């Protein structure tokens, strides 16, 4: 994997849907191997932020560079370097995990798509079910297969949009282990979540997004984890966007 000093660079990023400001002037940067967790209530604009950074939605203004590429240009080269896990699985329900991953491997232009797919399926612990239709999978298994799809091409940057939603305890632990492994392999990760303990446990940086803005963005070492939950609720309630939040 080549070095990406600034894996993600976001400057004055805005996205409006009519009068609704989903992303409202966000600035941040992530270096290669850093893990940023973005918390925020529903409707804060977290998903829109991920969609913009992964090139799925165009920003209204501002700039965002991912792996050195301007996201607005929609370059295939940028898409080679990112993996995305969103609310939906983006998996074909009537295909098996092996067929799904082989399809995406071919779309990524990977050599030996079957071998690569089998290896990733094993990595996420789905080998015994590799020939069953995805339609028959539980939420946890789908999420693991989503991870497999996202990491199949060994991307340098991963975007995860609420990956713990709907998972049971076991599946949550499995997912956390995968993310930790990816973090150890110096993948840059941007994750949005409502799960405060999971989010704080793995990250290097924490952000709180409220009404499209980052209420704060801090290194995890500067955050009092015990007080985070109450501060989160205070921030959401009071819409305190400036520096006045006492973390």
CB of 91 to other proteins, least distance (A): 6
Q: How many residues bind other proteins (CB under 8 A)?
A: 31
Residues 99-138 that bind other proteins (CB under 8 A): 99, 103-104, 106-109, 133
Residue 137 carries which DSSP code? -
Residue among 118, 58, 113, 52 nearest 86 (CA): 52
Is residue 20 involved in binding other proteins (CB under 8 A)?
A: no
**CA pair distance 123, 115, nearest whole angstrom:** 12
Is residue 76 involved in binding other proteins (CB under 8 A)?
A: yes
Estimate to the nearest angstrom the gap between the alpha carbon of 67 and the chain centroid: 15
**CA pair distance 231, 187, nearest whole angstrom:** 29
Is residue 245 involved in binding other proteins (CB under 8 A)?
A: no
Residue number with CB closer to other proteins (54 or 231): 54
Residues 21-60 that bind other proteins (CB under 8 A): 51, 54-58
Is residue 144 involved in binding other proteins (CB under 8 A)?
A: no
Tokens of 105: 């491997």
Distances in whole angstroms, Cα of residue 239 to Cα of each of 39, 196, 205, 244: 14, 19, 21, 11
The footprint of other proteins (CB under 8 A) covers: 51, 54-58, 76-77, 79-80, 82, 84, 86-95, 99, 103-104, 106-109, 133, 149
């Amino acid at each position: 994997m080549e070095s990406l000093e600034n894996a993600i660079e976001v400057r004055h990023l805005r996205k409006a849907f009519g009068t609704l400001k989903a992303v409202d002037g966000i600035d941040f940067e992530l270096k290669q191997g850093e893990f940023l967790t973005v918390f925020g209530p529903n409707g804060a604009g977290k998903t829109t932020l991920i969609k913009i950074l992964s090139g799925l939605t165009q920003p209204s203004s501002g700039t965002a560079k991912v792996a050195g590429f301007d996201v607005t240009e929609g370059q295939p080269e940028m898409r080679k370097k990112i993996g995305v896990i969103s609310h939906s699985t983006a998996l074909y329900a009537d295909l098996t995990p092996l067929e799904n991953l082989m399809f995406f491997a071919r779309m990524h232009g990977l050599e030996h798509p079957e071998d690569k797919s089998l290896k990733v399926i094993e990595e996420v612990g789905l080998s015994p079910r590799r020939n069953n239709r995805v339609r028959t999978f539980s939420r946890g298994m789908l999420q693991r297969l989503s991870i497999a799809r996202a990491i199949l091409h060994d991307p340098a940057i991963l975007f995860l949009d609420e990956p713990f939603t709907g998972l049971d305890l076991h599946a949550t632990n499995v997912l956390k282990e995968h993310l930790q492994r990816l973090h150890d392999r110096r993948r840059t990760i941007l994750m949005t979540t409502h799960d405060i303990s999971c989010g704080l446990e793995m990250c290097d940086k924490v952000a709180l997004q409220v009404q499209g803005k980052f209420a704060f963005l801090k290194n995890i070492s500067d955050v009092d984890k015990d007080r985070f939950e109450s501060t989160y609720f205070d921030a959401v309630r009071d819409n305190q966007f400036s520096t006045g939040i006492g973390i």
